Structure 1
């Protein structure tokens, strides 16, 4: 009997209370972000970047730069990974995603300071101007019929080849 009591006492002494649960981030459904996209402009370019990091489009291709202002009109911070996805779609509905490398070079051209796109969250009432760069075959872009799709938006935005170049 004595052995059993000692064994139980040793087992109880080595037990620790459960660790407190770590706070969990709010689910996307619980975050009131109410993201707004404004000041949309489209620009066709042969290259992106500043003189120290210039990136030309591939032969036979153009960069289509989509600039916009994103504003958090909600009441809580908006984690950047919860922002809607932005894609271009051709006349056949095929989605084209932005070029991450060209977009990064473009951001170095237009953003000299910190931006939520690089540094985390977009707080309530805060806006930033940014952009995405898409590399498209020049003939396909000039053929027209392109639309900008913002995930969750009711309508796509028709785009016209600007031909403004840089």
Structure 2
């Protein structure tokens, strides 16, 4: 059994933090998530790239005055779920190709390529918000089955 998955045999781990919807808050989300992945014994890539993209989107497109965004991480032996909740439910993320000379606009395409699954959940709470989530499978694929998305999400040769 791979050492990275052995760290979470039958445990569910959670981490949640509220951060300011600023570039600094997005950077802090990536740094905190990277440390949490490391402490849980999980592979860092591509999970930290997904956190960086979702947090940057929340800070750039989902900000509302006086409202923070939330980063939540949930890990089991089989799956890592990354959730970023922001306060603009009317701005639903849609991956679309950016123009070749654009300096931004490829984040969701990257999330789509790296994650095994991803989506958006709109809140029905009193306060409007939406959660963009992505999941990575932490167990290696069967040798004969193709693994969609997240190629390289699990370290090879360990």
TM-score category, normalised to shorter length: under 0.3
Rg comparison, structure with higher value:
1
TM-score where L is the length of structure 1: 0.23
TM-score where L is the length of structure 2: 0.23
Larger RCO (CA within 8 A; separation ≥ 6)? 1
Quick check: which one's helix share is greater? 2
